[in-house]
Amino acid sequence: MAAANSVVLVVISCCLIAASNAQNIFSPLMLGYYNRPGICNQNPEVIIQKIVNGSVAADRTLAAGLLRMHFHDAFVRGTEASVLLKSPNNDAERNAIPNLSLRGFEVIDAAKAAVEKVCPNVVSCADILALAARDSVVAIGGPWWPVPTGRRDGVQSHANETTDLPPPSANFTQLLSMFQKKNLDKVDLVALSAAHTIGRGHCGAFSSRIYDAAGNNAIDPTLDAAYANKLRGFCPPRDTVTTVEMDPNSSLNFDSHYFQAVLAKQGLFKSDAALLTDAGARSLVQTGASAPIIFKSQFGFSMTKMGRIGVLTGRPGEPPSQIRKQCAFVNP
């Protein structure tokens, strides 16, 4: 037992060291970017955390909303807050079908307004979203992870680019390919899939698994039959509006129960079940289920890594960027 514990501690230490040194591995983001002398009179990260904590205390489900929004932002154009932009023609990312159910925009807007009062034209919406996702997870008992800052905001947002988002119907090969295109690996894929430990999913995203797996009203054989019948009780045929817990009986707590559910064939989406179709991914799922501390450490490291996808910092050759005054609109 002592030897096993030592191995666990070594793995955890490696994950934490890797996360804490992330700013040295990748530039130009840095921890405490806004705390440098002459940048802000108050620490904007504290202001953002206060807004997020108050919002999540009032509605615990917002944690899943903010975490999902950060993921959807990162996978389309990178972590440059394009998901927050509104369009007069309804053709921005937030108007695309995968994003119609995003929640938490009002939290980001409130945090931005609060920060602008004490530190105008300095803190990006992209950084606010990355910090809010982290703080919301911590607020419901999840892990803390370092969020290097210094991002700038993009000035474009296109609904047709949301094809970069992994769909809930994806198989493992498709999932891994989509993650690798964002410089994320198999370990990141499994760790970040566990974000499904919180939140709810729409019936339409998995209805084919409980009604039409083989075109004859059959249940998907990769889904536990008793669980499928329970889902049928929540989701009548052709119901696309009702939502159910993605992690049965544990959707408001950030824990490793998701992995236990996947191993029990109770992953809600086809993409969840797909993790068991690859030997390496299955092993990672088993580790996550049996070693929650290791999972949480890896989740934090993978989130830091995801938060660096496609960042804009104003370097030569980058797409145009700015610090938006309002997160939903490009500056005039």
Contacts with 293 (C-beta within 8 Å, 6 or more apart), sequence order: 8, 12
Beta strands in the chain (DSSP E): 153-154, 200-202, 243-245, 321-322
Half-sphere exposure of 1 (CA within 13 A, CB side): 0
Q: What is the pLDDT of residue 14?
A: 47
Cα torsion 252, 254, 258, 260 to 10°: value is: -110
Half-sphere exposure of 25 (CA within 13 A, CB side): 11
73 marked as part of a ligand binding site: yes
Q: What is the pLDDT of residue 214?
A: 61
Do residues 126 and 79 touch, judged by C-beta distance below 8 A? yes
Query: Residues 201-225: what's their mean pLDDT?
Result: 88
166 marked as part of a ligand binding site: yes
User: Is 113 contained in some domain?
Assistant: yes
Cis peptide before 28 (omega within 30 of 0): yes
Structure tokens at 175: 């999932």
Is 242 found in the same domain as 112?
Answer: no
Closest CA to 174 of 280, 81, 270: 270
Is 101 found in the same domain as 42?
Answer: yes
Q: What pLDDT band is residue 11 in, cutting at 50, 70 and 90? A: very low
Q: What is the pLDDT of residue 213?
A: 63
CATH of the domain at 212: 1.10.420.10
**From 16-20, 41-45, 156-160, the region with the lowest mean pLDDT:** 16-20
Is 277 found in the same domain as 311?
Answer: no
User: Is 200 contained in some domain?
Assistant: yes
∠ CA 125-126-132, rounded to 5°: 85
82 marked as part of a ligand binding site: yes
Query: Residues 224-234: what's their mean pLDDT?
Result: 96
d(CA 163, CA 198): 23
Distance, CA of 46 to chain centre: 21
78 marked as part of a ligand binding site: yes
Residue 35 clears pLDDT 50, i.e. is over it: yes
Q: What pLDDT band is residue 215 in, cutting at 50, 70 and 90? A: low
Over the stretch 244-281, which tens digit does the pLDDT of each residue have? 999 998 899 999 999 999 999 999 999 999 999 999 99
Catalytic position from the list 70, 72, 158, 202: 72
Q: Which domain holds residue 48?
A: 27-165+305-322
Is 161 found in the same domain as 35?
Answer: yes
CATH of the domain at 314: 1.10.520.10
Is 134 found in the same domain as 84?
Answer: yes
Look up 158 and say whether it is catalytic: no
Is 204 found in the same domain as 85?
Answer: no
- Tell me the H-state helices in 88-216: 105-118, 125-139, 172-180, 186-193, 207-211
User: Is 1 contained in some domain?
Assistant: no
User: Is 15 contained in some domain?
Assistant: no
Q: Which amino acid is at 231?
A: L
DSSP state, residue 326: B
Closest CA to 299 of 161, 162, 196: 196
Is 161 found in the same domain as 32?
Answer: yes
Over the stretch 67-119, which tens digit does the pLDDT of each residue have? 999 999 999 999 999 999 999 999 999 999 999 999 999 999 999 999 999 99
Structurally, the chain folds into a number of domains equal to: 2
User: Is 331 contained in some domain?
Assistant: no
Among all chains, which residue has been given the structure tokens 């309002």? 326
Do residues 212 and 263 touch, judged by C-beta distance below 8 A? no
Is the pTM here over 0.75, yes or no?
Answer: yes
d(CA 130, CA 126): 6
